[in-house]
Amino acid sequence: MTTDESEVRALLASRVDACRAKDIDRLMAHYSPDIVYYDAVPPLQFAGFGEVRRNFLRWFDGYEGAIGLETHGLNIAANDGLAFAHMLHLDSGKRKNGLDLAMWVRSTVCCRRSNGIWSITHEHVSMPIDPENLRAWFPPET
């Protein structure tokens, strides 16, 4: 693993820790001011620091407590100050609407290093669907 890959891996792990704790300031410290974020919820695209921050606060507010977030299958390619990563997240927790379930979310992240600091410049999140009924796919209960 290269130094760039290790640094991006650490950035992404810190991002997940901030999400679990619902620490908006620590989370947003990982994003570039000109972030473009594609989400699975309307309006689907969030551009700029303020819009992305509000979207994360909306997501945080949907949970009663901490957010369960596990990263699976992380793959990073990094070189010359640019990095691309893709992974699956298992998102779980008790929601304020009473649901207590887990769901898989796919994520692709683009990062740029500027002045020695990595930041996320683009993120694309999507949810897999069940092709039989075109509804969100949830992992089987164990």
pLDDT score for 135: 80
Amino acid at 116: G
pLDDT digits (tens, 9 = 90+) for 49-105: 999 999 999 999 999 999 999 999 999 999 999 999 999 999 999 999 998 988 889
pLDDT digits (tens, 9 = 90+) for 14-44: 999 999 999 999 999 999 999 999 999 899 9
Q: In total, how many domains does the chain have?
A: 1
Is residue 76 included in any domain, yes or no? yes
pLDDT digits (tens, 9 = 90+) for 126-137: 998 878 887 877
Is residue 140 included in any domain, yes or no? no
Say if residue 141's pLDDT is above 60.
no
* Pair of tokens at residue 92: 């779980």
- The CATH number for 122's domain is 3.10.450.50
- Residue 142 pLDDT level (bands cut at 50, 70, 90): very low
Could you tell me the pTM of the whole model? 0.90
Is residue 98 included in any domain, yes or no? yes
Is residue 133 included in any domain, yes or no? no
Residue 85: give the domain boundaries: 3-128
Q: Nearest CA to 14 among 94, 96, 109, 80?
A: 109
Is residue 82 included in any domain, yes or no? yes
